[in-house]
Every structure is written in C-alpha cells, then in structure tokens.
Amino acid sequence: MNEEYTKLNQANTKQQKEIDLIRKEISNRTQNQLKEFAKKNPEIGLQKNKENKKYSPSL
C-alpha cells in the first residue's frame, strides 16, 4: 500500500513539474507576443495612457 502511494506521488510530482514548465512557456510566449504587439502598435499604448490619466486623480 505504502509503495503504491509512493509511486503515485512520484508520478504526480513529475506531472506537476511538466505542467509548471508548460505554464511557464505559455507565459513567456504571451509576454513576447504582447511586447511585439506593443512595438508594432505604440499608438494603442499611448491612447490607454491618456485614458488612464484622464480618470486618475491628480495628487
């Protein structure tokens, strides 16, 4: 019983590590795509900044 649990736990740990790597890769790719989009479309970022400033209180 204990041996089975250990094997399952090891398999689960391995799967979790693989999932974490996949998540990290997805995150990296998404960040790169956002950076590329921002480079190609700087006016969108500037427009958002203007909108944010319009609604933010001046301190």
pLDDT tens digits along 5-51? 898 889 899 999 999 999 999 999 999 999 999 888 888 766 766 66
What pTM was computed for the model?
0.59
* Higher-scoring residue by pLDDT: 56, 28: 28
Q: Is the pLDDT of residue 3 over 70?
A: yes
Q: Output helix, strand, coil percentages for the chain, rounded to the nearest 5.
A: 90, 0, 10
Per-residue burial over 15-52, b = 16 or more CB atoms within 10 Å of its CB, e = otherwise: eeeeeeeeeeeeeeeeeeeeeeeeeeeeeeeeeeeeee
Q: Please state the domain extents for the chain.
A: 8-37
